[in-house]
A and B are shown apart, each in its own frame.
Chain A
Amino acid sequence: MISAEYLAYRIGTSTAVLACVSVLTFGMMYLTPGDPARAVLYHQTGQQPSAEAVAAFRAEHGFDDPFPIRYWHWITDVVQRDLGESYRTGRPVSTMIVDALPATIELAIAAMAVALVIAIPTGVASAVYRGTWIDQASQLFALVGVSMPNFWLGYLLIIVFALHLGLAPVSGTGGLSHLVLPAIALGTGMAAIVTRLVRTSMLDVLDAEYVDAARAKGTAERIVVYKHALRNALIPVVTVVGLQFGFVLNGAVVIEIVFQRPGLGMMLVDAIFARDFPVVQGVVLIVAVLFVVTNLLVDLSYRVLDPRVQFGGEHA
């Protein structure tokens, strides 16, 4: 079983990773060209701000302090769940994230679902019917899927299904119908990668002696494939799917722009253009937290998937 000790160890290392991420995100903003004070004031007033106004803004937000001090102020607030306020709107960043996060998570999960629903059966069929047209077709899909940029696929889907066929709304949020096209646009690339992985993993497992042993019992081929082989083949797949979740969040940023879906992605892009640093830092940090937590969950899920994995003990 997963010991409390192992959990403590993993949470410790995860925290260390997040600490590094926080320094990097904060530092990157520091190095970005363009003075946030000017950008924000320009945005608010619509004209070039006066030198006094800029100086006042910089003083108010502590821009003139040295980096370690600024970082210290920011991080001590962050651990108290205060991500600061947006320079532009003055709204707390945490509130903004809480508002935008569900839409992005919804998109990411839908995309993952699309990817897995396509990839697992395709990958399995590809391995089972190795060398046949089914295998070739699925390999072709994997190649095309992985080569296609998701924003391009997004526009393609909008043109075909929303504009020409009128089967789905072009953009915005709402019910399930608003989710279908973005999820497909985002999920296809991942589906392609996972298909290839499931295929390779299944081919390995289908060669294993225990698969023949299962057949020797008189087990129907369907059960051999979906119970005995797939369960083992999914072990490496889970790692990659977990890692891919980070890339899906990444892709969600682009897809949210393409489909004009409000979410973390749109929030981030707007904030970057406006030099709205607290928002950018907050979003990046939250994405990093999601990424680290997903990976932790993936590692812990090994214990469930693979009884041979032991955590924390010296002897397996």
Chain B
Amino acid sequence: MVSRDTPLLSVENLETHFDTAVEPVRAVDGASFTVDPGEVVGLVGESGSGKSVTARSIVGLESPGEIVGGSIRFDGTDLTDVDDRIRRQHRGDRIGMVFQDPTATLNPVFDVGEQIAEALRIHDVDRQRLTDFMHVPFVSDRQAWRDHRERAIELMEQVDIADPGSRAGDYPHEFSGGMAQRAMLAIALAGDPDLLIADEPTTALDTTTQATILERLDSLAATGETAVLLVTHDLGIVAERCDRVVVLYGGQVMESGPTEQVLTAPEHPYTRDLLECLIDDAEPQTRLSTIEGTVPDRFDEIGCPFASRCDYATAACRTSDPPIVDPGPDHRVVCGELETVPDAHVMDGANRSTRSEPTDGHAGSDRPPGNERERRVASASRTGDGTAAILAARNLSKRFETTDSWVDRLRGNRRYLDAVEDVSVSVERGQTLGIVGESGSGKSTVVDMLVGLEAPTSGRVELDGNPVGTVADRSAEQLAKVGVVFQHTRGSINPRATVRDVIAEPLFESGWDADRRTDRVDELLELVDLSPTHADRRRHQLSGGQLQRVAIARALALEPAVVVLDEPVSALDVSNRAKILNLLLDLQEQLGLTYVVVSHDLSVVGHVADEVLVMYAGQVMERGPTETLFDRPSHPYTNALLDAIPSVSGDTPAASLPGSVPSAVDPPSGCRFHMRCPLAEPECRSETPSMEAVDDARSRCHFASEIAADSDDDSEPLEHISPDTFS
């Protein structure tokens, strides 16, 4: 058994390098930290900080990188010093691993039950025979196979997969992201590990699903049997779930210590910068603070890796390795300039906007940090019923037919999926409409109809008051008026085209000649803060943040009045997220743009939007001005989305919303949300609520006004949103 006195895992001076043609990339460059038995440790940093490689090195999945120095002691064994067989035996058995994208980590050709059963089988056999794992008839042990299958189903039940008996036979593509991540968790837990490494386990998931998965990890650690190393870029998650935090940059530990201490009194400039990037307490529609520059591909061998981006860096920081300082028990900071760094400020939001200097260029750096929202909201009609609406949807519905065969079709056995039902929205010039909801809520279908990629089954889309059809029916002028930034930026950019070609494509399509195209692309690059040198790069040479800028530039090419952005920041780390949100706000001010922003993350929408539409199972649950929704939500679903936002300043961890969005093929009777609603009464099951006005918002709930009144005088459930932020 694991001894309680010594660390379970002790990583010392770990160095993992990747060989390249030029010189090796030192992805992990002397990182040291420990994880005690039963402890939850957060490993944080931006994309490219080396946190993932560190995690993978521990389980021996560093390839194609190579561990060139240091040690990884796990329960007394140095994993860098044993042969592959011993290392393999630790994997799964002692150390379980959960990866970022659950849909990519399950093997597409085996059913989920088999993949969990396999993990069990590995721990039951001394020697892994290929025939046993391939289920060769007459050779494999059928009884063992059945036993493992049964235990796999039990494990699925333990990680809250509903109806595990039948779901075990489903293939990964039939699982939602959240379910697939649960299945991965079941696999990781099959060997009853002492340490569970979770590498960005919730980045690809909805906020509500994120909370469920994190709660599961929490309860695991709470038993004291399993320690968790949680790799994430989101300090909100760390604040809520971790006992200790290790901040990594340039493959080195910048700061480590108890979560409470590190997050309330951060010492290292990098930790502070990371904290300040959070939307948490920031004034809505103001620039967020960002970290200057980007994570470089290579770091200098000597000196502090953060020196090039640090506000307090001196010549000494660049020429000699920084010392280790211990500001408190178990709290370590690697910085040579702590004296010059102003005293740690308490993260109460007071200092926030004072040190927020625009880092990425010219755009709107003179923007006043003031209360932008008030001014804009005041000038806008609140009801949004749309006389001045630039883009509007009237009673949009979209029904997809899912009848599989024409035989059924002929017989009249048709099956339908109502993706969107009777949605009306409008957005006025210069305003931002946010659409929020979980996967499967229908928000992307609404966007597809707004931009004309799908034809509505009923209802219509209006642009400038005129009804418009799909892209095929829209005039060149109407097409130019609406720019789109698609959800999966990487997938929406041709890998073979240069940035210039990508941005120039809409110009080319509308017949601009080569010279004008070149000029316009140069202009657009400047507008989104990309340097002219980026013009000749291709997709694989760009970071996530840069790709997003390219996508935005492309959307702006034809000077649209409206830009529709589908999950513009969900794939980005905190610092890139802040930069892109700043850019969007700057562009809006500079060009007078109107935005429709779609996201599963209410905090993002809350930061940029004037009006928010909350969607669930194809219907609008609530819509209204952003402050009203945040301060006085009048629908339990809005409440649940608010509660699911992880926050550094909150006392209570983000609450999960059990279950998932119901299938649109067979929607629940009455209120769509009643099955997951904490306040559901019998009438909710039978009577469909209609949209009722509550103050300046509208809500589809039988108890809308009670909920609004409740959230008004009792701020308890919403405490972590800091109501004063919006007052």
Contact = CB atoms under 8 A, between A and B. Distances in A.
Interface string B61-91: 1000000000000000000000010001111
Interface string A204-216: 0000111011111
B404 interface: yes
Interface in B365-422: 400-407, 417
B173 interface: yes
Contact of A218 (B89, B107, B184, B401): B89
B93 interface: yes
Contacts of A308: 108, 171, 173
B92 interface: yes
B402 A307 contact: no
A137 interface: no
Contacts of A306: 108-109
A218 B191 contact: yes
A210 B130 contact: no
Given A3-B404, A308-B171, A314-B401, A213 B119 contact: no
Given A210-B104, A232-B107, A217 B187 contact: yes
A215 B130 contact: no
Contacts of B726: none
Contacts of A213: 97, 99, 105-107, 184, 187
Contacts of B406: 5
A218 B193 CA distance: 12
A315 to B, nearest CB: 6
B130 A216 contact: no
A230 to B, nearest CB: 10
Contacts of B96: 216
Interface string A199-233: 00000000011101111111111110011100110
Q: Could you tell me the dominant secondary structure of chain B's interface residues?
A: mixed
Q: Give the size category of B's interface with A.
A: 35 or more
Contacts of A223: 128, 130, 133
B405 A209 contact: no
Contacts of A4: 405, 407
B59 interface: yes
Nearest to B109: A231
Given A5-B407, A227-B133, A307-B171, A214 B401 contact: no
A212 B400 CA distance: 37
A174 interface: no
Interface in A8-65: none
Contacts of A221: 84, 88
A232 to B, nearest CB: 6
Contacts of B60: 215
A239 to B, nearest CB: 16
Given A307-B171, A308-B173, A217 B118 contact: yes
A307 B173 contact: yes
Contacts of A212: 56, 61, 99, 105
B680 interface: no
A213 B56 CA distance: 11
B150 interface: no
Contacts of A307: 108-109, 111, 171, 173
A215 B61 contact: yes
A312 interface: yes
B134 interface: yes
B101 interface: yes
A107 B423 CA distance: 65
Contacts of B118: 217, 219
Contacts of A305: 109
A215 B89 CA distance: 10
A208 B106 CA distance: 10
Contacts of B295: none
Contacts of A90: none
A68 interface: no
5 contacts: A212-B105, A231-B107, A232-B107, A306-B108, A314-B402
Interface of B: 56, 59-61, 84, 88-93, 96-97, 99, 101, 104-111, 118-119, 122-123, 128, 130, 133-134, 171, 173, 184, 187-188, 190-191, 400-407, 417
Closest 7 CB pairs of A and B: A218-B92, A216-B97, A213-B105, A307-B171, A218-B91, A220-B128, A209-B104
Given A210-B108, A216-B96, A314-B404, 20 more contacts: A209-B99, A209-B104, A210-B105, A212-B105, A213-B106, A215-B60, A217-B122, A218-B119, A219-B92, A223-B130, A227-B130, A228-B107, A231-B107, A231-B109, A232-B107, A307-B109, A312-B404, A314-B400, A315-B400, A315-B417
